[in-house]
Amino acid sequence: MQIYLLRHGIAEEARAGRPDSERALTGEGREKLRRVLKRAQLAQVAPGVILSSPYRRAVETADVAVEVLGYKGKVVRTPALVPEASPFDAWEEIRSRKGEGSILLASHEPLMSSLVAFLLESPTLQVDMKKAALVRVDCDRFGPEPRGVLKWMITPALAEE
């Protein structure tokens, strides 16, 4: 399975009295996402399913992926992808869809970097998941713990035109 981990784009600043989960993407955040996802499209990224954190900025990130990658399915929202979720819970979501050839997860830090490390069996690995970054990890084992192989990472800086 090809596992694509997409960190949400730049979002509005937090405001007093407004839940963090309601922060929306900025125009710049959407543009950087589009650049990264257009590069991914050139690499023939075509997820069989897209999962998203229920937080607004992640849902909007998944929506940009739907648009740019031409995804025809429905985005599945899951609490296993909220910022403070466990990589184990995210892995269980992935495992439950092991019949898919590829899956894209739209989520947040610190989950995204810790999930990359978890998928690579390297819990101490430090991964700098910039906003709008996309990582591909391939995995062909779906036991209690994954055994993934890092294929590539696209950051907004690498996707500049």
| CA dist 136 → 1, 6, 65 (Å) | 10, 9, 14
Fold for 2-11+20-154, please state it: Rossmann fold (3.40.50)
Query: What residues of the chain score a pLDDT lower than 70?
Result: 161
Q: Are 131 and 156 a contacting pair, CB within 8 Å?
A: yes
Residue type, 18: R
Q: Are 40 and 93 a contacting pair, CB within 8 Å?
A: no
Buried/exposed 9-19: b ≥16 CB within 10 Å, e otherwise: bbbeeeeeeee
Question: How many residues belong to the chain?
Answer: 161
Check residue 160 and give its pLDDT. 84
Helix (H, G, I), strand (E, B) or coil at 2: strand
Name the H helices within the chain: 27-42, 56-69, 87-95, 111-119
| CA dist 45 → 15, 52, 89, 151, 157 (Å) | 35, 17, 24, 12, 19
Check residue 36 and give its pLDDT. 98
Q: What secondary structure letter does DSSP report for 81?
A: G
Give this prediction's pTM: 0.96
Q: Are 4 and 132 a contacting pair, CB within 8 Å?
A: no
Check residue 161 and give its pLDDT. 67
